[in-house]
């Protein structure tokens, strides 16, 4: 997650830097550093940001959750944890998902794929 995406996500969550720091369990200085680009956003913080965005109560009916198996017309959904737990909007969060060969990938490699997917990008 780059600094622009991080700042957009904070704005979408409608949190101050101090409020977001408390939610993420990091210091205010860390949040400021992520937004300024002085520090890269750690993967665990990125994951928490997307989780908060994915579970945010939306104010607009246009912001409906997207299920990955519908968006991607998945043929392997019955073997996928996203389908099993009805968490198609959180497919990027779950390990072992079937789409785009991410089942065998670690978190870092999976996120490289997921950052380019419409399910995750629709959160920001």
Question: What angle, rounded to 10 degrees, do the helices at 17-24 and 43-54 form?
Answer: 110
Closest of 20, 99, 102 to residue 56, by C-alpha: 20
The pTM of this model reads: 0.75
At 101-118, the pLDDT tens digits run 666 778 888 888 888 888
Q: How confident is the model at residue 29 (pLDDT cuts 50, 70, 90)?
A: very high
Cα diameter, the chain: 45
11 CB-side CA count, 13 A: 8
In whole angstroms, what is the distance from residue 121 CA to residue 111 CA?
A: 11
65 conformational bin, left if phi > 0, alpha if psi -120 to 50, beta if neither: beta
CATH of domain 3-54: 1.10.260.40
Q: What are the domain boundaries of the chain?
A: 3-54, 68-121
pLDDT at 99 > cutoff 70: yes
Tokens representing 35 are 């937004």
From the list 62, 69, 114, the residue with the least C-alpha distance to 88 is 69
């Amino acid at each position: 997650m780059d600094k622009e995406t991080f700042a957009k996500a904070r704005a979408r969550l409608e949190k101050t830097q101090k409020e977001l720091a408390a939610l993420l369990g990091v210091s205010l200085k860390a949040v400021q550093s992520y937004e300024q680009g002085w520090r890269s956003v750690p993967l665990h913080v990125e994951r928490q940001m997307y989780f908060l965005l994915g579970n945010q109560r939306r104010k607009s009916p246009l912001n409906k959750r997207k299920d990955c198996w519908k968006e991607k017309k998945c043929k392997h959904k019955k073997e996928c944890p996203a389908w099993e737990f009805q968490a198609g909007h959180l497919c990027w969060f779950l390990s072992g998902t079937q789409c785009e060969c991410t089942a065998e990938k670690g978190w870092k490699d999976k996120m490289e794929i997921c950052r380019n997917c419409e399910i995750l990008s629709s959160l920001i």
